[in-house]
Amino acid sequence: MTTHQPLTAIGFDADDTLWQNEYFFRLTEEKFSSLLKDYAESDHITERLLAAERRNLEYYGYGVKGFTLSMIETAIEVTEDKVPASVLHDILRTGREMLRHPIETLPHVRETLEELCGSYRLILVTKGDLFDQERKLAQSGLGELFDAVEIVSEKTQETYERIFHQHAETPHQSMMVGNSLKSDILPAINAGSWGVHVPHDLTWALEHAETPSDSEARFYCIEHLGLLPGLISELP
Amino acid sequence: MTTHQPLTAIGFDADDTLWQNEYFFRLTEEKFSSLLKDYAESDHITERLLAAERRNLEYYGYGVKGFTLSMIETAIEVTEDKVPASVLHDILRTGREMLRHPIETLPHVRETLEELCGSYRLILVTKGDLFDQERKLAQSGLGELFDAVEIVSEKTQETYERIFHQHAETPHQSMMVGNSLKSDILPAINAGSWGVHVPHDLTWALEHAETPSDSEARFYCIEHLGLLPGLISELP
């Protein structure tokens, strides 16, 4: 075993790394606020919704179905039990629409994956509703570019250790690429992997985290996914 | 390659094969009917709920969160938009309680898995909410007896082909054990696997299917899981 261990596997986050996601949540939040505009200020509604999502995370995990349940709970709460049935109908319908929204891949995604997929094992690593994530992957048309798909309930250091022990020789020979410092980058670096942050304009409040310091040797940040092959070719 | 290919891997369904599940859905349905007893007959409510579940399956897939959303939709429907907020609160709470119900393993489960786990690769194959199924597996204490866990969005012939190609030498050298003819047995037999039906007193209406005929050489039915090692020892 040499001290220099080349990269063998690259993990990619899906939502807001490969395709738009948070954008649809924001649109839905705006729609939700406007449905309840006679009862409370928009800021107050958004705040109560976020509090419900945070409170319910231990029950529902991530994804659209839990989000829809949190919207219903918040609608009852901010209307002080006076929420009209028509609003509940609209919330349920909006939730179902989110589960059918078209998949819009982000710029440079397909060509970057095509360029890398012969040379490295590519692994999709995503959390959220299993059923919904499978639907989105199928609809993206990107499925055949991945060697493995890991839909997980939480992205922790242990998650990445397990995945990269399975798909890379060791986590040291793996890289995780994603838009969430909290879920994609920090736990992957802690597992021994490289972490490549590709920031997205929109990041869910519950995904915020501190940027690692410049002294973190295995951390990189790139503006878009098209810059990834160049970065990889220059890895120490 | 010989014509006689010994069994190498056994897949187990989880809900109502390893632990009680449908029982909690039935309890919740009863609670749901009684919450709405001023608006409709119990039979009518159950029928509307099942229709909502069936209609929403393509959006929500399987699991408690989708079931809770279908209960809310049905409550609005059967009350003709007059559902009180207190009932909605109760439905949301009941849904969360289902996501916390204690895991009660079925008779003979642990000792059977312990007996088989040295000799065969054991694979848990379950559908439903990823987050909830992981919680139940962790709480069951059975996790370390399985070589692999496959939480899937649907159990089709292709699902079993993929899983058993990965974990058995071929699907012909694998066996699937479960309580649902529709999800566990028929598609596994079609994939080339043995199918061992362990009926449960309670089976969800959407899981009903015809029993395979006696002439189906790879189909068995046993009364409880404790009879599985004996059956395996007598396989042709």
- Local structure of B112: helix, strand or coil: helix
Give the model's pLDDT for residue B4: 64
Q: Which CATH architecture has domain A22-98?
A: Orthogonal Bundle (1.10)
Q: List residues bridging with B149 in a β-sheet.
A: B124
User: What mean pLDDT is reported for chain A?
Assistant: 92
Q: Which two tokens stand for residue B204?
A: 């969800």
For A220, other C-beta atoms within 10 Å of its C-beta total 21
What is the rounded average pLDDT of the residues A64-84? 96
What CATH class is the domain B9-19+105-233?
Answer: alpha beta
- Tell whether ipTM is more than 0.90: no
Confidence of residue A32 (pLDDT cuts 50, 70, 90): very high
Interface residues on A facing B, Cβ-Cβ cutoff 8 A: 56, 59-63, 65-66, 68-69, 72-73, 76, 79, 81-86, 88-89, 92, 95-96, 99-100, 129-132, 134, 151-153
For A55, other C-beta atoms within 10 Å of its C-beta total 12
Q: What is the DSSP string of chain A?
A: --S-----EEEE--BTTTB--HHHHHHHHHHHHHHTTTTS-HHHHHHHHHHHHHHHHHHH-SSHHHHHHHHHHHHHHHTTT---HHHHHHHHHHHHHHTTPPP-BPTTHHHHHHHHTTTSEEEEEEES-HHHHHHHHHHHT-GGG-SEEEEES---HHHHHHHHHHHSSSGGGEEEEES-IIIIIHHHHHTT-EEEE---S---GGG--PPPPTT-TTEEE-SSGGGHHHHHHT--
Confidence of residue A135 (pLDDT cuts 50, 70, 90): very high
Give the model's pLDDT for residue B28: 95
Give the model's pLDDT for residue B2: 41
Q: Which two tokens stand for residue B214?
A: 């006696």
Alpha carbon B41 to chain centroid, angstroms: 29
Least confident of A215-229, B37-51, B175-189: A215-229
- Nearest-angstrom CA–CA distance, A175 and A81: 49
Give the model's pLDDT for residue B214: 65
Nearest CA in chain B to A94: B59
For B90-108, letters b (16+ CB in 10 Å) and e give bbbebbbebbebebebbeb
Q: List residues bridging with A122 in a β-sheet.
A: A10
What is the rounded average pLDDT of the residues A102-112? 94
Q: How many contacts (CB atoms, under 8 Å) link A and B?
A: 81
Interface test with B, best of A59, A79, A125 (most B CBs within 10 A): A59
Give per-residue pLDDT as tens, B11-63: 999 999 999 999 999 999 999 999 999 999 999 999 999 999 999 999 998 89
Least confident of A81-90, B155-164, B214-223: B214-223
- Nearest-angstrom CA–CA distance, A32 and A72: 10
The residue behind tokens 């410049």 is A214
Contacting residues of B for A99, CB less than 8 Å apart: 59-60
Q: Fold for domain A9-19+104-233?
A: Rossmann fold (3.40.50)
Calculate what percentage of chain A has a pLDDT beyond 90: 82
Give per-residue pLDDT as tens, B1-11: 344 689 999 99
Give the CA distances from residue B89 to residues A72, A136, B20, B33, B71, in Å, rounded to whole numbers and listed in that order: 9, 31, 26, 15, 12
- Nearest-angstrom CA–CA distance, B37 and B41: 6
Contacting residues of A for B59, CB less than 8 Å apart: 96, 99-100
Give per-residue pLDDT as tens, B73-123: 999 999 999 999 999 999 999 999 999 989 989 999 999 999 999 999 999
Whether B26 and B50 have beta carbons less than 8 Å apart is answered as: no
- Alpha helices, DSSP H, located in chain B: 22-35, 42-60, 64-78, 85-98, 109-116, 130-140, 157-167, 186-190, 228-233
What is the rounded average pLDDT of the residues A100-115? 94
- Nearest-angstrom CA–CA distance, A161 and B168: 25
Nearest CA in chain A to B151: A130
Q: List residues bridging with B148 in a β-sheet.
A: B123
Contacting residues of A for B61, CB less than 8 Å apart: 129-132
**DSSP designation for B174:** E
Confidence of residue A4 (pLDDT cuts 50, 70, 90): low
- Local structure of B61: helix, strand or coil: coil
What is the rounded average pLDDT of the residues A149-165? 94
Interface residues on B facing A, Cβ-Cβ cutoff 8 A: 56, 59-63, 65-66, 68-69, 72-73, 76, 79, 81-86, 88-89, 92, 95-96, 99-100, 129-132, 134, 151-153
Q: Does the pLDDT of residue A1 top 60, yes or no?
A: no
Q: Could you tell me the pTM of the whole model?
A: 0.88
CA angle (B136 as vertex; A92, A138 as ends), nearest 5: 50
**Please, where in chain A does CATH 1.10.150.240 lie?**
22-98
Q: Does the pLDDT of residue A181 top 50, yes or no?
A: yes
- Nearest-angstrom CA–CA distance, B196 and A25: 44
Give the model's pLDDT for residue A2: 41
Q: Name the burial class of residue A162, with classes exposed (0-12), middle (13-18) and buried (19+) by CB atoms within 10 angstroms of its CB.
A: middle
**Please, where in chain B does CATH 3.40.50.1000 lie?**
9-19+105-233
More confident residue, A212 or A137: A137
Judge: B85–A81 Cβ closer than 8 Å, yes or no.
yes
Calculate what percentage of chain A has a pLDDT beyond 70: 97
Give the model's pLDDT for residue B1: 39
- Nearest-angstrom CA–CA distance, B71 and B73: 5
Q: Which two tokens stand for residue B234?
A: 């007598």
Give the torsion sign (CA, B35, B36, B41, B47).
Answer: negative
What is the rounded average pLDDT of the residues A66-75? 97
Amino acid in position A140:
S
Nearest CA in chain A to B99: A59
Whether A170 and A179 have beta carbons less than 8 Å apart is answered as: no
Judge: A86–B81 Cβ closer than 8 Å, yes or no.
yes
Q: Closest to B61 (Cβ–Cβ): which among A62, A72, A131?
A: A131
Judge: B88–A69 Cβ closer than 8 Å, yes or no.
no
Judge: A61–B100 Cβ closer than 8 Å, yes or no.
no
Q: Closest to B134 (Cβ–Cβ): which among A59, A63, A153?
A: A153
Amino acid in position A70:
S
Q: Does the pLDDT of residue B206 top 80, yes or no?
A: no
Nearest CA in chain A to B93: A73
Give A127 to chain B, closest Cα distance, Å: 9
What is the rounded average pLDDT of the residues B208-219? 78
CA angle (A202 as vertex; A199, A208 as ends), nearest 5: 70
What is the rounded average pLDDT of the residues A4-8? 84
Of residues B38, B32, B34, B79, the one with CA closest to residue B53? B32
Give A163 to chain B, closest Cα distance, Å: 13
- Nearest-angstrom CA–CA distance, A47 and A74: 10
**Please, where in chain A does CATH 3.40.50.1000 lie?**
9-19+104-233
Least confident of A22-31, A183-192, A202-211, B124-133: A202-211
- Nearest-angstrom CA–CA distance, B64 and B53: 11
Nearest CA in chain A to B152: A130
User: What mean pLDDT is reported for chain B?
Assistant: 92
Q: Does the pLDDT of residue B203 top 60, yes or no?
A: yes
Judge: A76–B85 Cβ closer than 8 Å, yes or no.
yes
